[in-house]
Structure formats: C-alpha cells, structure tokens
C-alpha cells in the first residue's frame, strides 16, 4: 500500500537548513484501534521533533599569578578551546548523521532504527546536547512501541523527560505518547492524566489537539463514562477538521459510543455509510475498525451478518499485517461461527498468540542488548579519555604525579567495569529466566490446562472455552502483567482443580473454601495458582494416578496445601529430581515458603507446601 501522508521535519545545523521527508505509511505507523478511537500518536511525535538544534561552546575563566604565567595559561587555554570547539562540532555532526539514518529506518526496521538513535545519543552526550538526546530518546520509544515493547517505551520516555527543560515544545508529544502506552496497558485513568498534561502543553490548536481529545474520549468510554466521551466527541465533530481520516473516525466513534450506551440505538446504517467513505479514501485501518464495530453490533441480533463482518475484518487485518487485529477477528468469528471450523481456528489462534508473544520478547531482548552494548562502549571510551587526559596533565604537573593518577584511574576503571559487566550479565540472565517462566506459566501451561479441561468435560460450552481463551489472551498480551487480578479467584482456582478430574482420574479438594484465600496478597495467590497447576499438569502427564487429594489448611500466619496421589511416585527422590521439581522448589523458596516431596507409604507421591500468608512476591 502506498504511503498516505508525508511528514516534514525541519532541522537546522550550522546555519545550513535542511528538510527531511519521512514517508508516513499508516499501515506501519500505528495499530489502528478496533474501536477507531486512538489518534496517530506516532505522527504527533514525529512532528514534535522540529526544534532547531544549537550548540554554544562552554567558556572558562582563569586567574593570573604573574605576567609570564598569564601568558602561558592564556596560550594553553586558547589552544584547548579551539580543540574543544572542533571536537564539539564533529560530535554533533556525527550524531546528526546517525539521527537521520534512524529516522529513515523507523518505518522499515525498528531494531536498526533504535540502534542508530543510540549511536546518535552517544555523540550528543559527548557535547552535552540534552535537546538532541531527548529527541533521540522519543524516537527510540516510538520504535519500541511499534515492536510491542510497551514497558521499554515507557521507561525510555521517562528518560527523555529527565533531559527536557520546563516548557519544552516537545513535552506534549512525550505526555501524549505516555497516555497511549497507558491506554495499551488498559490503565485508562492513568492515560487520561497524561492526555490532560499533553493538552496543557500542546501549542497547536488543530490536528494535534483533536487527536489528543479523541484519545481522551476513548479512555473515558473504556471506563464506561459514555456521557463524558460523547461530550468530547460531539464538540470535536463541530470543529472544521481538515484530516478526513480523523473526521470519519470521530463521527464513527460518536455512533459507536451511542450504541454502547443504548444497544437499541440504530448505529449500523451510519457506520455503513462511513465504511463506504473509508473504502473510497483507501483507509484500510479505518475499514478494519468499522468491520469490528459492525460485527459487535450484530453479534446478538444477527449472528450471520456478524460473522460476515468478522471475516471481512480478518481479511483486512491480514492485508494490514496486524497480528493483534487478526486475533481479535478470530475471536469474533469463534463467537458466532460454525462449530465445525472451531478446532482449526482455535489452533491458528493459539499459534498466532504464541508467535506474537515470542516476537515481542525477542524485540525486548534486542533493545536491551543495544543499550548494554552502548554502555560497554561508553566505559571503553571513558578509559581512552582518561588516558588522554592523563597525558595532557603529565605535561603540566610532572611524570611522577601523572603516573600515580594513571595507575589509580586504570585500576579503578577496570574494577568498576568488571563489576558492572557482571551485574549486567546477571540482570540479563534474570530477565531471560523471568520471561521464560512467565511464557511457560501463561501460554504453555494455559494451553495444556485448556486441552485437559476440554478432554475431561465433553459438555464444556463454547462460551466457557472462549472465556478461558480471552483470559489467556489478556494475560499473554503484556508479560509484565503477571498477577491474576480478579475478584472471583476462589472460583477460578476451584474450577482449575476440578478440570483435571475425570472418570479415570479423580481430583478431590478437601477443606477448600473462600476463607482459604482471605486477606492473602494477590501476588501470592497468583504464584500458588501457577504452582498447583504445574503439579497437576505433571500428575496428568506422568503419575498414572487414579485418585488425587488436595487438602487446604489455614492458620493466622500460613497456608498449607498437601497434595497426595496413588500413582507411580518418584523413585530415589533425592537423586532423581528433575528440572520441574527444582523449579517448583525455587518458586516456593522465593515466597519464603517450604515444599517437601515424600513417597506415599501406600504408593504414590505426597507434596507438602507451606507459605506465609503475608508474603509479598514480585
């Protein structure tokens, strides 16, 4: 698809003005919201990066001790000042080169673009050019957002804020993008706060402000504040908006929010008219949103029509290369589609979901490695700079003092470098282990649990399966959201246990009641959910047990869960512990708890888990 818009960013260096043309392909630019309420925040970020860059060399003062000393110092400083000015110009010029390369790559290769901006930051740091550093960081956050690294993008934007001065003209771009990131994480009240900051900072009275207001309306109706959302959108609709894509989006949002507040409202005819206008203007992302709205509106009253629109949405999402929209379209098809196609569609859904999460984790690792590699180079450069400084000082204060400083500086640097490298390797390793554990818990065990549930419950309803799929999908969208934050945890935990019970394998909970989970931190409940599910999955795969008993006992300070089965057990427990047992022991240890594996005297296995109920686990 050909680019829809071209953004022109004016940049000026050394009195030589240049205009950089960045083709803004909307297919890549933004994952257009299924509810067509999200603004082109990246476009806003692009246009914010227009501030003219200037560099003023630092000046130094000195005192006079004698006429000869004055002359010597003046000559020395004059030479150093010339060198400093030349080095500063070279650093900024080199940084600008990488900056332009990063802009050109942003829509093509986010990793290479991120790397170019990191190189630019390295050179800007040498000149203490905080303005250009903050702009480069904003671009890096855009690259991370493209790639699904939402938390990474947020951290980068906070870093950019630290580099920016009060009343910086780019502040609204950072605030607006932070609002979009909070929106993506479903933290709508937080998103509203950042959108409000962006509105107070933006100087433009047109498109930028309209997009921010549209996003604010989106956050409002996500919180079921339909009246607030409609008030914002209807005021926007009265404005003379030149951007027809934004104009159509606002009009459709009004119809959709009216329908949300009253399902009898006849929104379909007007949305169909807007869909035709989007088709004529080749707005494929807008078409995708319209199909999503129409599928939802017809889901109850006309399932066949809803299925048609859901399939149109899937086809459009494939053309747009939007995996998230494909997942949403599949979910809508499964709600109203033919049961004979459900199994194949479910397999495709699970495969795509797993692929998206792996891709996002891969991007996160690459971005982290670029940062790490840059830090390593900076330390190496610091070593070279220290050596050069020592060489200059040697001429002034003598070989003896200089030699001592050189030895001390090199020793300190190498020791610090070695320590930082060890800490960084440990940090990267811990991050990899954390992501691996989360993917195993949420995706792998989640899918296996669902398969067991379907196998053991032949009368399992499609609605229940879809609810489980939706829950698993929500948990896997952002791997940093690890806790099962729901009010019905007691029931969900119980359903999970019962789903492993079948005619051949009975799983019986004893003393299980709502009081078991009373006043227990959510993080602890979530971790125990994954631990017990892991034990039951291993039971299903390996034990051959016919009877499993889970006994729950609670006192004021601890919770004890005793697992007993009559299966094959584990011979030579002390020497035959596999990775699964060790991982479970490590997880309970992280909760300051205790887990004991014992042979059942009557045959089988006994596992005793005890954890303090006031544990705070991260």
What domains can be seen in the chain, in order of their start residue?
Answer: 486-612 (3.30.565.10)
Could you give the residue ranges of the DSSP H alpha helices within 398-510? 399-439, 445-456, 462-477, 489-499
Q: How far apart are CA 338 and CA 314, in angstroms?
A: 16
State how far the Cα of 326 lies from the Cα of 310, in Å rounded to an integer.
Answer: 10
Q: Residues 381-393: what's their mean pLDDT? A: 74
Arithmetic mean of pLDDT, 300-320: 90
Q: Identify whether the C-beta of residue 108 lies closer than 8 Å to the C-beta of residue 75.
A: no
User: What pLDDT score does 85 carry?
Assistant: 57
221 SS3 class: helix
Confirm if 540 and 505 have CB atoms less than 8 A apart.
yes
Both tokens assigned to 592: 């300051």
pTM above 0.75, yes or no: no
Query: Which backbone phi and psi does 238 adopt, to 5 degrees?
Result: -80, -10
Provide mean pLDDT across the span 362-378: 78
pLDDT classification of 341: cutoffs 50, 70, 90: low
List, for residues 63-74, the tens digit of each pLDDT value. Answer: 444 555 555 555
Q: At what angle do helices 284-297 and 268-280 cross, to 10 degrees?
A: 160
Residues with Cβ within 8 Å of residue 362, at least 6 apart in sequence: none
pLDDT of 484 higher than 60: no
| Residue 492 clears pLDDT 80, i.e. is over it | yes
User: Strand order in 558-565's β-sheet?
Assistant: 506-510, 547-554, 558-565, 605-612, 594-599
Using alpha carbons, list the distances in angstroms from residue 351 to 434, 443, 476: 22, 10, 13
Q: How far is CA 147 from the centre of its chain?
A: 9
Mean pLDDT along residues 341-357? 75
- Residue 60 clears pLDDT 60, i.e. is over it: no
Length of the chain: 618
What pLDDT sits at residue 434?
57
Report which DSSP code applies to 481.
-
Cα distance between residue 404 and residue 399, in whole Å: 9
Q: How large is the average pLDDT for residues 300-306?
A: 91
* pLDDT tens column, 1-57: 322 332 323 343 433 333 333 333 332 233 333 343 333 344 444 444 444 344 444
Residue 26: C-alpha distances to residues 4, 31, 311, 319, 393 (Å): 6, 9, 22, 12, 56
Alpha helices in 205-341 (DSSP H): 207-222, 226-237, 244-261, 268-280, 284-297, 303-320, 323-336
**pLDDT on residue 277:** 93
112 confidence band (pLDDT: 50, 70, 90): very high
Of the listed ranges 42-56, 456-470, 543-557, the one predicted with least confidence: 42-56
SS3 586: helix
Q: What pLDDT does 53 receive?
A: 41
Task: Tell me the pLDDT of the chain averaged across its residues.
Answer: 78
pLDDT reported for residue 214: 92
pLDDT in the model for residue 151: 87
Of residues 165 and 248, the one with the higher pLDDT is: 248
Q: Where are the alpha helices (DSSP H) in 65-149?
A: 67-105, 110-126, 130-146
> How far is residue 128's CA from residue 176's CA, in Å, rounded to a whole number?
26
Mean pLDDT of 207-230: 91
Q: Average pLDDT of 171-183?
A: 89
Read off the pLDDT band of 565 (50, 70, 90). Answer: very high
pLDDT value of position 17? 31
Find tokens 């790559």 and name the residue: 105
Mean pLDDT value across residues 177-197:
91
Q: Are strands 547-554 and 506-510 parallel, antiparallel or unpaired?
A: parallel
**Residue matched to tokens 């989640």:** 446
Question: Which tokens is 366 given?
Answer: 């690459």
Which pLDDT belongs to residue 216?
A: 93
Percentage, residues of the chain above pLDDT 70? 74
Torsion of CA 229, 232, 238, 241, to 10 degrees: -100
Are 314 and 306 in contact by the 8 Å Cβ rule? The answer is no
Model confidence at 279, pLDDT cuts 50, 70, 90, reads very high
Whole-Å CA distances, 248 to 206, 226, 238, 256, 342: 16, 19, 13, 12, 34
What residue has token string 């670029």? 370
Q: Are 248 and 274 in contact (CB under 8 A)?
A: yes
Compute the average pLDDT of residues 269-287: 92
Task: Indicate if the pLDDT at residue 324 is higher than 80.
Answer: yes
DSSP strand pairing (5-13 vs 16-24): antiparallel
């Amino acid at each position: 698809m050909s680019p829809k818009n071209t953004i022109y960013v004016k940049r000026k260096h050394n009195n030589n003005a240049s205009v950089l043309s960045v083709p803004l392909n909307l297919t890549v630019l933004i994952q257009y919201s299924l509810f067509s309420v999200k603004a082109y925040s990246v476009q806003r970020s692009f246009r914010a990066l227009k501030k003219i860059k200037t560099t003023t060399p630092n000046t130094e003062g000195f005192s006079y001790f004698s006429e000869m000393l004055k002359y010597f110092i003046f000559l020395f400083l004059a030479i150093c000042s010339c060198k400093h000015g030349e080095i500063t110009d070279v650093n900024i010029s080199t940084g600008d080169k990488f900056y332009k390369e990063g802009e050109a790559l942003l829509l093509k290769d986010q990793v290479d673009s991120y790397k170019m901006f990191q190189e630019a930051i390295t050179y800007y740091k040498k000149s203490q050019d905080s303005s250009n550093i903050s702009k480069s960081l904003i671009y890096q956050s855009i690259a991370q957002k493209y790639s699904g690294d939402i938390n990474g993008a947020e951290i980068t934007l906070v870093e950019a804020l630290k580099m920016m001065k009060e009343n910086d003209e780019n502040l609204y771009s950072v605030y607006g993008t932070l609002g979009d990131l909070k929106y993506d994480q479903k933290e709508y009240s937080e998103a509203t706060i950042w959108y409000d900051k962006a509105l107070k900072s933006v100087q433009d009275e047109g498109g930028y402000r309209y997009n921010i207001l549209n996003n604010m309306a989106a956050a409002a109706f996500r919180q079921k504040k339909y009246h607030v959302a409609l008030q914002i959108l209807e005021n926007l609709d009265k404005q003379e908006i030149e951007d027809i894509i934004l104009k159509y989006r606002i009009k459709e949002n009004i119809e959709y929010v009216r329908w949300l507040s009253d399902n009898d409202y006849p929104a379909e005819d007007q949305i169909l008219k807007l869909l035709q206008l989007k088709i004529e203007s080749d707005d494929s992302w807008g078409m995708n949103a319209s199909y999503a709205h129409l599928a939802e509106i017809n889901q109850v009253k006309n399932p066949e029509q809803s299925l048609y629109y859901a399939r149109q949405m899937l086809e459009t999402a494939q053309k747009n290369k939007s995996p998230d929209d494909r997942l949403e379209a599949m979910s809508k098809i499964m709600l109203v589609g033919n049961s004979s196609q459900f199994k194949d569609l479910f397999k495709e859904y699970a495969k795509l979901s797993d692929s998206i999460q792996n891709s996002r984790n891969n991007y996160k690792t690459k971005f982290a490695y670029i940062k790490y590699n840059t830090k390593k180079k900076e330390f190496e450069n610091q070593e070279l700079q220290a050596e050069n400084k020592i060489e200059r000082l040697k001429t002034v204060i003598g070989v003896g003092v200089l030699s001592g400083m050189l030895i001390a500086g090199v020793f300190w640097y190498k020791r610090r470098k070695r320590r930082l490298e060890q800490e960084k390797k440990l940090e990267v390793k811990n991050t990899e282990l954390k992501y691996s554990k989360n993917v195993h818990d949420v995706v792998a065990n989640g899918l296996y649990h669902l398969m067991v549930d379907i196998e053991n419950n032949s009368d399992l309803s499609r609605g229940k399966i879809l609810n489980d799929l939706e829950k698993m999908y929500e948990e896997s969208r952002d791997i940093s959201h690890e806790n099962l934050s729901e009010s019905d945890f007691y029931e969900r935990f119980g359903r999970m246990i019962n789903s492993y019970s079948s005619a051949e394998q009975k799983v019986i909970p004893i003393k299980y009641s709502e009081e078991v989970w009373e006043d227990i931190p959510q993080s602890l409940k979530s971790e125990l959910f994954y631990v017990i599910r892991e034990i039951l999955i291993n039971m299903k795969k390996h034990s051959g047990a016919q009877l499993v008993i889970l006994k729950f006992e609670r006192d004021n300070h601890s919770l004890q869960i005793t697992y007993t089965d009559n299966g094959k057990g584990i011979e030579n427990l002390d020497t035959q512990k596999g990775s699964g047992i060790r991982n479970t022991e490590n997880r309970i240890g992280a909760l300051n708890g205790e887990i004991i594996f014992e042979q059942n005297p009557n045959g089988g296995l006994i596992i005793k888990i005890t954890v303090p109920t006031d544990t705070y686990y991260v």
